[in-house]
Amino acid sequence: MKALVVDDDRVLADVIAFTLRREGFEVLMSYDGENALKRWSEDQPDLIVLDVNMPKLDGFTVCRRIREHDDTPIILLTVRGEEDDIVKGLEIGADDYVVKPFSPRQLVARVNAVLRRAGSTLQPSEMQVRELCYSPAKREVTHLRDGKAIPLTPLENRLLECLMINAGQVMTVDIIIDHVWGPDGADRDMLRQLVRRLRIKIEPDPSNPEYIQTVPGLGYGLIS
């Protein structure tokens, strides 16, 4: 997830960037409107946090320009007291706003809310490989034969997601670990255990896997 933070107050921009990075975003920054437009068109961020008051191009203008082209989620930063800005911003097409000063927690909540609304179209509600039907939203898999829904734990969920998205291909251990545990990683023991636990849940016979195939020295893949 790439986020673009636009604010001429560099200190505040840093704070926001720090907050978002902690949430797992890759953060780009701009300190004025013109540069923001450039970054937006070049880097195609998934989210924009945009200050209203800026030299050169103000936030409204930037927001309007972007809206001429696409629907990238935009959160406006406005100043307390300028309530009209909020109305104007939302009319222009911003998705939400946060009034300065704000707590990091508040910003994160808004970001999540906005991405949720926008992102609903990002992930399909169901993915299917052969007899196996996976519902990320409910965190469960269903065997089409018996129709029984099996609940998954968060980690199992991310693993299956990773394999389903790339069904038919072999995913290396490193890639899988990155997807499941994030950049801070984990060791291979943990992945081995996780694969085992997922197999127990979805394979008819965990000792002779039909779905999760292991490729020695490389990684795992979902056989489609």
Q: Is 201 in the site for DNA (CB under 7 A)?
A: no
Could you tell which of a second copy, DNA, none binds residue 82, using a CB distance below 5 to 8 A set by kind? none
Measured from the CB of residue 183, what is the shortest distance to a second copy in angstroms? 5
Q: Please state whether beta strands 140-143 and 149-151 pair in parallel, antiparallel, or not at all (unpaired).
A: antiparallel
- 112 touches a second copy (CB under 8 A): yes
Q: Are strands 74-79 and 47-51 parallel, antiparallel or unpaired?
A: parallel
Q: Mapped to the 3 state alphabet, what secondary structure does 114-161 carry?
A: HHHHHHCCCCCCCEEECCEEEECCCCEEEECCCCCEEECCHHHHHHHH
170 binds a second copy (CB under 8 A): yes
Binder among 113, 206, 210, 223 for DNA (CB under 7 A): 206
Q: Is the peptide bond before 101 cis (omega within 30 degrees of 0)?
A: yes
Nearer to DNA, 100 or 197 (CB): 197
Query: What are the structure tokens assigned to 216, written together?
Result: 């020695």
Query: Binding-site residue total for DNA (CB under 7 A)?
Result: 29
From residue 13, alpha-carbon distances to 30, 46, 79, 213 in Å are 8, 17, 15, 46
Query: In angstroms, rounded to a whole number, what is the distance separating the alpha carbons of residues 129 and 203?
Result: 13
- Nearest-approach distance from CB 37 to a second copy, in angstroms: 26
User: Could you tell me how far CA 14 lies from the centroid of its own chain?
Assistant: 21
Q: Looking at beta carbons only, is 10 or 71 nearer to DNA?
A: 71
Which spans of this chain sit near a second copy (rule: CB under 8 A)? 84, 86-88, 90-91, 98, 103, 105-106, 109-110, 112-113, 116, 137-139, 151, 153-154, 169-170, 174-175, 177-178, 183-185, 215-218
Which spans of this chain sit near DNA (rule: CB under 7 A)? 64, 68, 92, 151, 153-156, 173, 181, 186-190, 192-197, 199, 206-207, 214-218
